[in-house]
Amino acid sequence: MKSISVKNVTKTYNERVTALNDVSLDIDEGRFIAVMGRSGSGKSTLLQMAGLLDSPTKGSVIINGEDVSSLGKNQLAQIRMKTIGFVFQAFHLNPQLKAYENVMLPMLINPEYKTKADIQKRANELIDMVGLSHRAGHYPNELSGGEQQRVAIARALANDPDFILADEPTGNLDSDNEQAIFGILKSLAESGKGVMTVSHNEAITEIADKIYYMSDGVLGENKK
Q: Is 15 in the site for ligand ADP (CB under 6 A)?
A: no
Cβ proximity to Mg ion, 56 vs 103, nearer residue: 56
**Shortest distance, position 129 Cβ to ligand ADP, whole Å:** 28
- List the single partner that 161 binds among Mg ion, ligand ADP, none, CB under 5 to 8 Å by kind: none
CB within 8 Å of 222: residues ≥ 6 apart: 210, 211, 212, 213
- List the single partner that 124 binds among Mg ion, ligand ADP, none, CB under 5 to 8 Å by kind: none
Q: Give the residue, chosen from 9, 23, 31, 43, that forms a contact with ligand ADP under the rule CB under 6 A.
A: 43
**Shortest distance, position 165 Cβ to ligand ADP, whole Å:** 12
Restricted to residues 17-36, the positions that interact with ligand ADP (CB under 6 A) are 17, 19
**Shortest distance, position 18 Cβ to Mg ion, whole Å:** 16
Q: Give the residue, chosen from 13, 77, 187, 190, that forms a contact with ligand ADP under the rule CB under 6 A.
A: 13
**Shortest distance, position 84 Cβ to ligand ADP, whole Å:** 18
Q: Give the residue, chosen from 44, 83, 102, 197, that forms a contact with Mg ion under the rule CB under 5 A.
A: 44
Cβ proximity to ligand ADP, 17 vs 109, nearer residue: 17
Cβ proximity to ligand ADP, 44 vs 102, nearer residue: 44
**DSSP letters for the chain:** --EEEEEEEEEEETTTEEEEEEEEEEEETT-EEEEEE-TTSSHHHHHHHHTTSS--SEEEEEETTEE-TT--HHHHHHHHHHHEEEEETT----TTS-HHHHHHHHHHT-TT---HHHHHHHHHHHHHHTT-GGGTT--GGGS-HHHHHHHHHHHHTTT--SEEEEESTTTTS-HHHHHHHHHHHHHHHHTT-EEEEEE--GGGGGT-SEEEEEETTEEEE---
Q: Which residues bind ligand ADP (CB under 6 A)?
A: 13-14, 17, 19, 37, 39-45
